[in-house]
Amino acid sequence: MHKHHNALGLATTLNPVDPVTLVRPHAAARAARFFVEKFPGRSMYAVKANPSPELLQILWDNGITHYDVASLAEVRLVARTLPEATLCFMHPVKAEEAVREAYFTHGVRTFSLDSLEELEKIVRATNAATDLTLCVRLRVSSEHSKLSLASKFGAAPHEAKELLFAARQAADALGICFHVGSQAMTPEAYSNAMERVRAAIVEAAVTVDVIDVGGGFPSSYPGMEPPPLERFFETIHRAFESLPVSYSSELWCEPGRALCAEYSSLIVRVEKRRGSELYINDGAYGALFDAAHIGWRFPVRLLREPDSRARDMEFSFYGPTCDDMDHMAGPFMLPADMQAGDYIEIGMLGAYGSAMRTAFNGFGSDQIVIVDDEPMVSLYDDAFQEVASNVVTL
């Protein structure tokens, strides 16, 4: 993996023909330390957001010891990369064979579920093990999040009592988990979900050992600037403290996007301009899946020396494949004098960008360069500066 000082220097000196992924280890390290130091419980990384072994190692080195895995492939990946990590199999619907291998081969002891059928499957696959942490996933609203996760998984209110009672009998430790949706824009998403947890505990009258508030912690994108993460943590802590659980109960969370979004960005080249449409060399089947398929807007900037003095205007992007769906509507704000041959940095692609990439139509690039400049946007700048300001040089 090559190294370079910054995105601008790389684009203007190397003139890359193919897209280049830029990674910023210091940004991922900073995000990990933020969660480890400030979240009032245990933070475990949601591997699906970015399964890069290099990223997994950075998070481990900066205090993330638990990993939310959603498939047997993710179990194997993290077990191979971080042999001492604690793995939690948090997909609510798993193959029985996957549960068996996870338990007996990789030492997984924590599993989530949202049905009696899944509970029975876990009990069978583990030979009725007595050291299980079983987390019952409740269905909660995604109304405060940009991407809903409210329809596919989660026990409905009328199902929770029986499921919690049955899981309590099979579990060494009983947990309740939920997911408010991806990119939650207000702490209220978590306080509302915690009320659903409270109702379920009271109705089932069971002792709960773990409350897992899941993921959904936001990053900053154009038009999606969330409140500081500390406000989310404070709201979650207050709600947790008011639940009818014992003093020994643990609080968990599963950040994905918030830990890795700032980790990487992408340099693309403009191959053609047609009015307000720019044809670039990455797209819907590469790192820009979200920009194409769910209309996600990412921060962009022109990499040119000298910099343009033209006013910004709205552009959309076409990717390199032959598919009309390889289109990113944006709008993406760039100087009005954009032209073929220009380079653009597209930021905040550490979450889901590399994870969704394909090689459709023969396009794509595995070129990765480490840079030490700052991400285009960061929720952790103030926290980093606060820590830095306390350092005394002798």
pLDDT in tens, 201-220: 999 999 999 999 999 999 99
* pLDDT over 70, % of the chain: 96
Mean pLDDT of the chain: 93
Q: What angle do CA 70, 132, 59 make, to 5 degrees?
A: 45
Q: Looking at the chain, which residues constitute the CATH 3.20.20.10 domain(s)?
A: 26-260
- Per-residue confidence (pLDDT) for residue 358, from 0 to 100: 85
- Among 149, 217, 221, smallest CA distance to 183 is for 217
Preceding omega of 331 cis (within 30 degrees of 0): yes
- Per-residue confidence (pLDDT) for residue 259, from 0 to 100: 97
CA distances from 316 to 87, 267, 291, 329, 392 (A): 41, 16, 10, 5, 48
- Per-residue confidence (pLDDT) for residue 382, from 0 to 100: 60
Classify domain 2-22+262-371 by CATH number: 2.40.37.10
Residue 94 has pLDDT above 50, yes or no: yes
pLDDT band at 1 (very low <50, low <70, confident <90, very high): low
Q: Kindly report the pTM of this predicted structure.
A: 0.92
Give catalytic status of residue 177 as yes or no. Answer: no
Q: Looking at the chain, which residues constitute the CATH 2.40.37.10 domain(s)?
A: 2-22+262-371
Residue with tokens 């009725």: 128
Q: 339, 352 in Cβ contact below 8 A?
A: no
d(CA 24, CA 11): 16
Residue 373 has pLDDT above 80, yes or no: yes
The secondary element (H helix, E strand) that includes residue 13 is: helix 7-14
Residue 390 has pLDDT above 50, yes or no: no
- Per-residue confidence (pLDDT) for residue 381, from 0 to 100: 75
- Per-residue confidence (pLDDT) for residue 40, from 0 to 100: 96
Q: 269, 341 in Cβ contact below 8 A?
A: yes
Q: 24, 389 in Cβ contact below 8 A?
A: no
- Per-residue confidence (pLDDT) for residue 184, from 0 to 100: 92
- Of the candidates 135, 177, 260, 322, the residue annotated as catalytic is 322
User: Among the listed ranges 127-131, 158-162, 250-254, 381-385, which one has the minimum average pLDDT value?
Assistant: 381-385
Residue 389 has pLDDT above 70, yes or no: no
Residue 48 DSSP class = G
Residue 149 has pLDDT above 80, yes or no: no
Residue 110 has pLDDT above 60, yes or no: yes
User: Among the listed ranges 277-281, 302-306, 362-366, which one has the minimum average pLDDT value?
Assistant: 362-366
Q: Identify the bridge partners of residue 266 per DSSP, sorted by sequence position.
A: 21, 346
Segments of 142-248 assigned E as strands:
145-147, 173-177, 182-184, 210-212
| CATH superfamily to which 26-260 belongs | Alanine racemase (3.20.20.10)
Residues 6+ away with beta carbon under 8 Å from 388: none
User: Among the listed ranges 61-65, 144-148, 175-179, 335-339, which one has the minimum average pLDDT value?
Assistant: 144-148
